[in-house]
Amino acid sequence: MELVRPADVRAAREALAGVVRETPVTPSRALDAVTRGPVLLKCENLQRTGSFKIRGAYRRIQRLAPGERAAGVVAASAGNHAQGVALAAQLLGTRATVFMPAGAPLPKIEATREYGADVELVDTLDDTFTAAAAFAERTGAVLIHPFDHPDIVAGQGTVGLEILEQVPDVATIVVCTGGGGLLSGIAAACAPAGVRVVGAQAAGLAAWPPSLAAGAPTSVAGATIADGIAVSRPGEVTFAHVRALVDEIVTVDEEAIARGVLRCLEREKLLVEPAGAAAVAAVAEYPQRWPAPVVAVLSGGNVDPMLLVDIVRRGLVAAGRYAALRVRLTDRPGYLADVLRRVGQAGGNVVDVEHRRLTGSGAAPGTVDVALTLEARGHDHREAILADLAGAGYEVAAE
């Protein structure tokens, strides 16, 4: 298979001039402290449609023959690719139909419609691909794959060209990866320049390690909060690029991704979706592993507000700043007050109390469980609170 070349990426960049934004690169002092070297963030979360996807979608549709474009395009997506295809089609004057799962976040569905696409809702994400392929066969519309096409790869690679210009001495680029379109494109643009390219994948759904080990795309099962990279099998085109050009694939767990989202919010003042935070999580989880300067690509910022609440809570728990405790005590006046007093004196902030009287549990009569949700300053502070309660004779455990 012929790989996308730097010249192909440069041609895509010319086609995208005036269409996409050259997103900023911003230094991260918080990550500098972890890695002991310069770390910068490439902010594709500030791109049009909220992610890098417009780059590849526009290039793919722009290169269609006039007859193909007249027939319209169709796509299957739960969010970012849907919006990228919708806007690209609108800008290029063609019709777009996008199949989305009925459970997709409402803001993403509405945004796709606002960009001019006809949105068809089906039951599941797997059903969207089946429906999109059937629609293409029935109507002659061109199916725009989210990652597995050379034009998609070339379009996404323009992110890499911008990084080379914005950070001329870049040594390593860390990129989140699901299907591999963005990773392949950046590698096609930057690996020939001697830049190390690293893919970061969610451990809960990591198809790349077994695929590379097997020498061919391999399907895996799993789940992850990083829905933007929740891909169970790499593509043929992207596999060829990753195997030839990418230096390393690492995985990050759900807690690390949640901490990455929280880090971007608190320290960088940037709203980043879980997939976009995977690169930040990798840099934090593998400190000093790669030569600096390191650029972490924030691939997108489209996150459902309700999911964001849950992710931030998970990030706080993972950082030791939010904890749920169970304290067993005698059900008599003053004991609960004593527990709350001790937590307060230790510097903890109780945000929720649930008083559970035990029946049929085998516990001594008159014993209760008190569930406490509290805020702490980190793992050491949380452990100190537990130790203080245990030292006072209470049976205490973290839930």
pLDDT greater than 70 at residue 360: no
Least confident among 121-125, 303-307, 378-382: 303-307
Please report, for residues 257, 324, 341, 367, the alpha-carbon distance to residue 354 in angstroms, rounded to integers and kept in the order given. Answer: 30, 11, 16, 14
Confidence band of 362 (pLDDT split at 50, 70, 90)? low
Q: What is the CA radius of gyration of the chain?
A: 24
6-52+149-316 maps to which CATH number? 3.40.50.1100
**6-52+149-316 shares its CATH topology with 54-143:** yes
| Rounded CA separation 245/265 (Å) | 32
Say how many CA atoms lie within 13 Å of 192 toward its Cβ. 14
Are 134 and 160 contacting, i.e. CB atoms less than 8 angstroms apart?
A: no
Residue type, 59: R
300 pairs with which residues across the strands?
Answer: 51
DSSP 180-221: SHHHHHHHHHHGGGT-EEEEEEEGGG--HHHHHHHTS-----
99 pairs with which residues across the strands?
Answer: 76, 120
pLDDT greater than 80 at residue 384: yes
Torsion sign, CA atoms 102, 105, 106, 108: negative
Looking at residue 180, what is its pLDDT? 97
Average pLDDT over every residue of 202-217: 97
DSSP 77-95: -SSHHHHHHHHHHHHHT--
In tens, the pLDDT along 51-81 reads 999 999 999 999 999 999 999 999 999 889 9
Question: Domains of the chain: which residue ranges?
Answer: 6-52+149-316, 54-143, 320-398
Average pLDDT over every residue of 213-229: 94
In tens, the pLDDT along 10-61 reads 999 999 999 999 999 999 998 998 887 899 999 999 999 999 999 999 999 9
Residue 7 CA to its chain's centroid (Å): 29
CA-based max dimension of the chain? 81
Its CATH architecture, for the domain 320-398, is 2-Layer Sandwich (3.30)
In tens, the pLDDT along 237-282 reads 999 999 999 999 999 999 999 999 999 998 999 999 999 999 999 9
Say if residue 2 is exposed, middle or buried (CB neighbours under 10 Å; 0-12, 13-18, 19+): exposed
Fold classified for 54-143: Rossmann fold (3.40.50)
